[in-house]
């Protein structure tokens, strides 16, 4: 749904899908939530989050703009810019300290 709206709005879309996004994550060998930096556990709901939210009106759906996140983290963040979200919940480094 969001992707269709983004296409209609003329935002970039490299045609990538879950296969390409997974490949990117495997290449990085860092299979963790990009929001809380927690690793994924069996049974975790994983959602694909747009680094730069589509709602921002500039970024689209491309491999470089899609990251895996816990469902709960993604829902918590919604369309909040990353720096604003981290200011609210604390960065993962702060949370670990
Ligand atoms: Zn998370």
- Residue-wise pLDDT tens digits, 28-66: 767 789 999 898 999 999 999 999 988 888 889 999 999
The yes or no reply on domain 2-96 and CATH 1.10.730 is: no
Cα(4) to centroid(ligand 1), Å: 26
Percent of the chain exceeding pLDDT 70 equals 93
Cα(8) to centroid(ligand 1), Å: 30
**What counts of helices (H) and strands (E) characterise the chain?**
5, 2
Cα(45) to centroid(ligand 1), Å: 10
The pLDDT value given to residue 95: 56
The pLDDT value given to residue 96: 56
pTM: 0.81
Q: 11 or 93: whose pLDDT is higher?
A: 11
Cα(91) to centroid(ligand 1), Å: 11
Largest CA distance in the chain: 43
Asked whether the predicted pLDDT for residue 15 surpasses 90, the reply is yes
Please list, in sequence order, all residues whose beta carbon lies within 8 angstroms of the beta carbon of residue 22, skipping any fewer than 6 positions away. none
């Amino acid at each position: 749904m969001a992707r269709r709206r983004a296409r209609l709005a003329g935002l970039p879309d490299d045609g990538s899908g879950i296969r390409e996004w997974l490949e990117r994550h495997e290449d990085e060998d860092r299979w963790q939530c990009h929001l809380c930096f927690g690793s994924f556990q069996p049974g975790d709901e994983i959602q694909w989050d747009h680094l730069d939210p589509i709602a921002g009106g500039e970024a689209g759906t491309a491999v470089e703009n899609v990251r895996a996140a816990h469902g709960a983290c993604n829902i918590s963040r919604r369309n909040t810019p990353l720096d604003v979200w981290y200011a609210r919940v604390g960065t993962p480094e702060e949370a670990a300290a």
